[in-house]
């Protein structure tokens, strides 16, 4: 079975098709079970659409949402888009075959990183919910690009309102524990029960992390990815009490009922 340029939208929420040739069939046995939210990191949506459809750029996504909330589809949901790159979640390494990718127009951290407009967020919520319902994607598998590629990616970043999105019925969320400004967290090289617990909780939720070891740069990187999603006030990679308590509040996937968004 081969992939082909998209000719019809997968949802009535789409207002325009902008086909990308950067596609291939999903690997055998894969259907969408993960939804990845990105920002484009480019100055305009026109530039993003150009990059995501140029064969020499070798990237693509299923959907783009511009600042005004316009939803553009580039790749059929049946096909494998090239949006995740080298990534991992809950044992899965071929995230492109397992996921649908939404690129949200925002120039990103290198170009000023503005707020995500309310009209754009409403479109993100509507499209994400539509996709999650149709594919039975569980809340804890609606993720940031930074969740699946810690350190390599930081999008959609600390200004992306995951709490609001969860109130719309999209994704998993817990209230972050208050930050003590005097709590600098553990130093690199620290060992002990808190370090072991943080590693276990991150791995249980789906992050790629070794279960054993001291508080090292790798753990710091994964903690920052977690904070960019769940403790956005201070995404510094510190293992402080706020981070550990917030992480402890997250329900591991096995305890998330049936995981469907309704």
CATH of domain 193-253: 1.10.101.10
Return the percentage of the chain with pLDDT > 90, whole number: 94
HSE, side-chain direction, 13 A CA sphere, residue 107: 7
Buried b (16+ CB within 10 A) or exposed e, 124-152: bbbbbbbbbeebebbbbbbbbbbbbbbee
Start-end of CATH 1.10.101.10 domains in the chain:
193-253
Q: Which two tokens stand for residue 167?
A: 């109130």
CB–CB of 100/94 below 8 Å?
A: no
CA separation, residue 163 to residues 42, 83, 103, 228 (Å): 25, 24, 19, 12
Distance CA 170, CA 137 (A): 10
pLDDT the model gives residue 163:
98
CA separation, residue 33 to residues 44, 133, 134 (Å): 29, 11, 10
Superfamily of domain 16-167: Peptidoglycan recognition protein-like (3.40.80.10)
Q: Which two tokens stand for residue 53?
A: 């459809």
Comparing CA positions, the residue from 111, 112, 100, 126 lying closest to residue 38 is 100
CB–CB of 75/116 below 8 Å?
A: no
Q: Which two tokens stand for residue 58?
A: 């070798």
pLDDT tens per residue, range 53-75: 999 999 999 999 999 999 999 99
CB–CB of 262/133 below 8 Å?
A: yes
Start-end of CATH 3.40.80.10 domains in the chain:
16-167
pLDDT the model gives residue 186:
96
158 given a catalytic annotation: no
Using 50, 70 and 90 to split pLDDT, how confident is the model at 258? very low
Calculate mean pLDDT across residues 222-247. Answer: 98
Active-site entry in 16, 103, 115, 158 = 103
pLDDT tens per residue, range 158-217: 999 999 999 999 999 999 999 999 999 999 999 999 999 999 999 999 999 999 999 999
């Amino acid at each position: 079975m081969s992939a082909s340029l998209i000719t019809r939208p997968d949802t009535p929420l789409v207002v325009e098709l902008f086909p990308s040739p950067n596609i291939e069939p999903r690997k055998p046995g894969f259907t969408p079970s993960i939804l990845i939210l990105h920002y484009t990191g480019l100055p305009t949506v026109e530039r993003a659409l150009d990059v995501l459809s140029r064969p020499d750029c070798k990237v693509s996504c299923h959907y783009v949402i511009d600042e005004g909330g316009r939803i553009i589809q580039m790749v059929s949901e049946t096909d494998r888009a090239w949006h995740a790159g080298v990534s991992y979640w809950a044992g899965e390494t071929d995230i492109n075959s397992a996921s649908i990718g939404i690129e949200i127009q925002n120039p990103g951290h290198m170009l000023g990183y503005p707020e995500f407009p309310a009209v754009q967020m409403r479109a993100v919520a509507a499209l994400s919910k539509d996709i999650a319902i149709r594919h039975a994607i569980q809340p804890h598998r609606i993720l940031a690009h930074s969740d699946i590629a810690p350190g390599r990616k930081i999008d959609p970043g600390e200004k992306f309102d995951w709490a609001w999105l969860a109130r719309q019925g999209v994704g998993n969320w817990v209230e972050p524990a208050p930050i003590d400004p005097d709590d600098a967290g553990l130093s690199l090289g620290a060992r002990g029960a808190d370090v072991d617990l943080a590693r276990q909780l991150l791995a249980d939720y789906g992050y790629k992390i070794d279960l054993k070891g001291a508080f090292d740069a790798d753990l710091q990187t994964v903690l920052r990815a977690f904070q960019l999603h769940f403790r956005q006030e201070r995404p510094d990679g510190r293992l402080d009490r706020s981070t550990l308590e917030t992480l402890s509040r997250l329900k591991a996937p096995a305890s998330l009922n049936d995981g469907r968004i309704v």
